[in-house]
Structure 1
Amino acid sequence: MRPIDWQQIDTVLLDMDGTLLDLHFDNYFWLEHLPEQYARHKGLNKADALAELSSSFVGLRGTLNWYCLDFWSELTGLPIVELKKDVADKIGFRPYVREFLNTLAQLGKRRVIVTNAHRDSVDLKLQHTGLDQYVDRIISSHDYREPKEQQAFWNHLLQDEPFDRQRTLLIDDSLAVLESAQRWGIHYLLAIHHPDSEREPISQDQFPGIHHFDELIFDSQDAADRDD
């Protein structure tokens, strides 16, 4: 990946889950903890419970309901927010995130989280990480009722949080979201190769990417030195 010219960037848009926070919590919840609880609720074995839940996933990926905890609570008959609290000890930062966000602040860049996570999920993660102390603003796609995969999300965002799309960097672990942002016109795009610390890195060559944020801290510190 070529070094980023930070002098050409004013705003950094940051995904939350899988980018700033370890995606292991989310994957564990949806693939392990929820199926176990759903199996007990329905009197099924875990494999059948997971199969039944998986059948509900069809056609939802990339829609707002895919990320909506209220939707999943109604569908499963389970208190999803409370169940997330059961395994909240798995919520954590990805490597070098706090150092990177602090460096962006030193460079005078605006740091805005743009996440598809439901507000209840955002609140739970803020309670366990204090992530809000490291950024300027947090925006959930549920605020606009449009997921980041849709062009309408970016239109809402621009009205709500004005920025120059030619001087903006988006960092996200979702290729679908990066593709959406690219179509909309965000100039700088960066993928995360290792969103879940318990899984193998993702291989893709569609967008430049990093494994961890220490790969960017060096570039940004160089930019700070040039500005001194």
Structure 2
Amino acid sequence: MIPDWDKIDTVLLDMDGTLLDLSFDMYFWGQLIPEAYADKHGISFEDAYRHLEPIFMGEQGNLAWYCLDYWTNALDMPVAEMKRAVKDRIGERPGTQAFLSWLKEQGKTIVMATNAHRETLSIKLAEVDIEHYFDALVSSHDFGHPKEDQAFWEALIKQQGFNRERTLFVDDSFAVLTSAEQFGIGHLLCITQPSSEHPARDVTQWPAVNYLDEALPNG
């Protein structure tokens, strides 16, 4: 699905699952954290997972879900340090560099709009060579509201001054895309397979691609 690029000036891009492979985050929260929690409390992995799952589910969509400080305190574990220990698992999704390079060549304004905590952002951008493409890097923690909330978009447009009708937003989260749609972002694009280790999803509500370079002319 190729956007009408002549009608787009600004491109807002999610990070995890859009630019970067979500398999890192799924491994970290779905395996590494439960393993460490099990070791810390002398219980089985299964018991740790059963204990943590409702806690995680209860915070999804809230700013706390994305906050390293929150989970460091809640779990009593050095979450940022643990992320750095497995940073070799961080990787770009195929097509990311080609997409960003093309946007830059076309003179589009490129803004990262992520729910990731600033420390997570720092850890990940140290491992992938993409920061230089962006005109701005925005974390929802800067505004105190996740992308799922309209307050995030109000703060973002006030800060960045983009024309919502001439803006493309790309994300893998259905909830976040719904929020952007409600705000009136003119062009939306969904990623079908945010994690390389999980199957692609059937996306019908918005235009969708697997890899970002598929959205380029003749991509």
Please indicate the TM-score interval, normalised by the length of the shorter structure. Answer: over 0.9
Q: Deviations over 1:50-107 (max 9, x none)?
A: 1111121233110000111111111110000001112111101000101110100111
- Structure 2 SS opposite 1:205: coil
Structure 2 equivalent of residue 151 of structure 1: 150
Pair 1:91-2:87 in alignment = no
Aligned to 1:11: 10
Q: Is residue 4–residue 219 contact of structure 1 (8 Å, CA) maintained in 2?
A: no
In 2: Cα distance, 1:15 partner to 1:219 partner: 23
- With normalisation by structure 1, the TM-score equals 0.93
Residue segments in structure 1 that go unaligned for 5+ positions in a row: 221-228
Residue type of the alignment partner of 1:138: L
Sort the Cα spacing of 1:219 and 1:156 in 2 relative to 1 into closer, same or farther, 3 A: farther
For structure 2, which runs of at least 5 residues remain unmatched after alignment?
none
Structural RMSD (CA): 1.1
Q: How far apart are the structure 1 equivalents of 2:133 and 2:193?
A: 21
Task: Tell me the equivalent position of 1:37.
Answer: 36
Shift of 1:44: 0.9
Runs of 4+ more than 4 Å apart? none
Aligned to 1:64: 63
Q: Give 1:127 shift.
A: 0.7
Aligned pairs (5 A) from 1:112-123:
112-123=111-122
Q: 2:17, 2:183 → 1: CA distance?
A: 22
Q: Deviations over 1:135-183 (max 9, x none)?
A: 2211000000000000000000011111000000000000100000000
Q: How does 1:91-110 map to 2 (within 5 A)?
A: 91-110=90-109
Deviates more, 1:58-67 or 1:99-108: 58-67
More displaced, 101-110 or 209-218? 209-218
CA drift of 1:219 comes to: 4.6
SS in structure 1 of the partner of residue 91 of structure 2 = coil
1:114 and 1:185, CA in 2 relative to 1: closer, same or farther beyond 3 A? same
Letter aligned with residue 23 of structure 1: L
Aligned-residue identity in percent: 47
Query: How many matched pairs?
Result: 219
- CA positional deviation for 1:130: 2.5
Matched with 1:75 is: 74
The answer to whether 1:166 aligns with 2:176 is no
Question: Counterparts of 1:44 and 1:75 in 2: how far apart (Å)?
Answer: 18
